[in-house]
C-alpha cells in the first residue's frame, strides 16, 4: 500500500492546488480528472493505434488459422511471430483499460488521508490528534478513517486538538467547507449513509456511466470475431466486470472517490468520440500503410545498383539456370510421354490377345 499512499500524496498536492482556486472539492476532482485525461491522451491514442493494427491483421490471422488447422500450438507460435513482425501488442488495449484503477486508488488515499496527503500536515501531529480522538465517546471509527473524522467533526474538535499549529488550523478550516457538492456530502460513504442522504446516487451513476462509456467505445471501435482471443477476453472483462467493480467501490468508499469515477467515465466517453472523429481505425490504417509504402520506397532508393560486369554475370547465371530447368522439364515430359505410350501399347496388345482367344 506504500506506493498507493505515495500516489495519493502526489494527487493530494494537485487536488489541494485546484481546491484553493475553486473552493469546492467536487469541482476540484472534476477538473483534476480532465487534466489527467489530457496527460494520458498519448497512451489512449496508442491504444487506438493498437486496435487499428489488430483490425489490419485480421486477414493474415485468418490465413494462419487455415494453414495451421487444428494445431493450436503452431497457430499461437505463428501468431506471436506475426505480432512481432508487425510490431503489434495484443495486450496493450487491456493495460490502458486497467490503468484507471490505480489512479482511483490514489484518489482514495488522498481522500481518506486528507491531513496527510492533501494538507500535508506533519505526521507526528496527526498521530497525536488520532490518539486523542480515539478516547472520545462516540468516535468509534476504524483507524483508516480517523483523519476523515477529524475533518468532518472539526467544528466540535478544534478546541481540544491543540497540537495543531495556527497554520494547520487555517488549512483545516478552509478545507472543511468545500465538501458539499450539489447537496451531497463528499466525505460521507454511501454504504453508511441513510437513503435520504442521496449518496446512493453516486454508485448508481458510477455503474451507468461506466457501462455507457464501454458501450460507446465498443460501438466506435467494434472488434471483429476474428480478433485474438486475448483481446476478446480483455474487452468482455472491461465491458461487464469493471463497471460493477467500480460501482461497488463507489458504494463502500467516500463519495469523493465515486465522483472521480463518474467524471472519469463521462470525460472518457467524450474523449472516445473525439478520437474516433480524428483518429479512427480507417484513418490510422491508411496512415500506417502510407508510411509502410514510403519506407519500402526509401529502402529501394537506398540500395546501390551492382556494377555492370556483375549484373551481366548474374544475368548469365540466371539464364543458364533457366536453360537447365527447361531441359530438365523437357526430359521429364518426354519420360512421361514414353511411359504413357508404353502403357497404351501394352493395353492394346492385351486387348488383341483377348480377342484372338475368343475367336479360337
CA distance 283 to 273: 14
CA distance 11 to 9: 5
Q: Which residue has the higher pLDDT, 228 or 79?
A: 79
- Per-residue pLDDT of 60-119, as tens digits, reads 777 777 777 777 787 788 777 777 776 666 665 566 666 777 787 888 888 888 888 888
First to last CA, the chain: 108
Least confident of 44-53, 190-199, 301-310: 301-310
Phi-psi region of 307 (alpha: psi -120 to 50; beta: other; left: phi over 0): beta
pTM: 0.66
Q: Which residue has the higher pLDDT, 152 or 5?
A: 152
Q: Which domain holds residue 332?
A: 309-340
Q: Answer whether residue 329 is part of any domain.
A: yes
- Per-residue pLDDT of 29-57, as tens digits, reads 999 999 988 888 887 777 777 766 666 67
Q: Answer whether residue 47 is part of any domain.
A: no
- Confidence category of residue 225, pLDDT binned at 50, 70, 90: very low
Q: Answer whether residue 315 is part of any domain.
A: yes
> Which range scores top for mean pLDDT: 220-234, 269-283, 297-311?
269-283
Q: How many domains does the chain have?
A: 1
4 pLDDT exceeds 50?
yes
Cα 331 to chain centroid distance, Å, stands at 62
Other Cβ atoms closer than 10 A to 295: 10
Q: Answer whether residue 314 is part of any domain.
A: yes
CA distance 205 to 7: 26
291 pLDDT exceeds 70?
no
For position 215, what pLDDT does the model report? 77
For position 30, what pLDDT does the model report? 92
Q: Which residue has the higher pLDDT, 348 or 319?
A: 319
What percent of the chain is predicted at pLDDT more than 90?
Answer: 7
Q: Answer whether residue 323 is part of any domain.
A: yes
212 pLDDT exceeds 70?
yes
Q: How many residues does the chain have?
A: 360
Please tell me the chain's helix, strand, coil percentages from 3-state DSSP, rounded to the nearest 5: 80, 0, 20
- Confidence category of residue 202, pLDDT binned at 50, 70, 90: very high
Taking each helix axis from N to C end, the angle separating 58-68 and 72-86, rounded to the nearest 10 degrees, works out to 150
- Confidence category of residue 201, pLDDT binned at 50, 70, 90: very high
292 pLDDT exceeds 60?
no
- Per-residue pLDDT of 246-288, as tens digits, reads 889 889 888 888 898 899 888 888 888 887 777 666 666 666 5
Q: Answer whether residue 73 is part of any domain.
A: no
In this prediction, residues 217-223 reach a mean pLDDT of 64
Q: Answer whether residue 12 is part of any domain.
A: no
Q: Answer whether residue 324 is part of any domain.
A: yes
Amino acid at each position: 500500500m506504500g506506493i498507493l499512499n505515495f500516489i495519493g500524496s502526489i494527487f493530494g498536492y494537485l487536488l489541494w492546488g485546484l481546491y484553493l482556486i475553486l473552493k469546492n472539492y467536487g469541482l476540484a476532482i472534476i477538473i483534476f480528472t480532465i487534466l489527467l485525461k489530457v496527460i494520458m491522451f498519448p497512451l489512449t491514442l496508442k491504444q487506438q493505434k493498437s486496435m487499428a493494427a489488430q483490425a489490419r491483421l485480421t486477414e493474415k490471422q485468418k490465413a494462419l488459422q487455415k494453414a495451421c488447422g487444428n494445431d493450436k500450438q503452431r497457430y499461437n507460435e505463428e501468431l506471436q511471430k506475426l505480432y512481432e513482425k508487425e510490431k503489434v501488442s495484443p495486450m496493450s488495449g487491456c493495460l490502458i483499460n486497467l490503468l484507471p484503477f490505480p489512479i482511483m486508488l490514489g484518489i482514495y488515499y488522498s481522500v481518506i488521508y486528507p491531513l496527510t496527503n492533501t494538507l500535508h500536515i506533519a505526521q507526528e501531529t496527526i498521530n497525536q490528534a488520532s490518539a486523542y480522538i480515539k478516547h472520545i465517546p462516540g468516535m468509534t471509527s476504524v483507524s483508516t478513517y480517523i483523519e476523515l473524522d477529524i475533518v468532518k467533526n472539526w467544528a466540535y474538535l478544534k478546541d481540544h486538538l491543540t497540537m495543531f499549529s495556527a497554520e494547520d488550523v487555517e488549512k483545516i478550516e478552509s478545507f472543511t467547507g468545500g465538501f458539499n457538492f450539489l447537496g451531497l456530502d463528499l466525505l460521507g460513504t454511501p454504504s453508511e449513509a441513510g437513503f435520504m442522504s442521496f449518496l446512493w446516487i453516486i454508485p448508481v451513476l458510477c455503474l451507468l456511466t461506466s457501462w455507457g462509456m464501454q458501450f460507446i467505445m465498443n460501438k466506435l471501435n467494434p472488434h471483429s470475431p476474428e480478433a485474438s482471443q486475448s483481446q476478446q477476453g480483455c474487452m468482455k472483462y472491461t465491458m461487464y466486470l469493471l463497471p460493477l467493480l467500480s460501482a461497488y467501490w463507489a458504494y463502500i468508499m467516500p463519495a469523493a472517490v465515486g465522483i472521480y469515477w463518474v467524471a472519469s467515465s463521462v470525460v472518457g466517453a467524450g474523449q472516445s468520440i473525439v478520437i474516433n472523429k480524428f483518429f479512427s481505425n480507417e484513418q490510422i490504417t491508411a496512415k500506417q500503410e502510407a508510411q509502410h509504402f514510403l519506407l519500402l520506397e526509401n529502402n529501394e532508393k537506398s540500395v546501390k545498383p551492382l556494377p555492370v560486369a556483375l549484373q551481366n554475370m548474374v544475368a548469365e547465371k540466371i539464364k543458364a539456370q533457366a536453360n537447365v530447368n527447361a531441359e530438365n522439364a523437357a526430359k521429364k515430359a518426354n519420360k512421361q510421354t514414353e511411359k504413357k505410350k508404353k502403357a497404351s501399347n501394352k493395353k492394346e496388345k492385351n486387348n488383341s490377345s483377348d480377342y484372338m482367344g475368343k475367336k479360337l
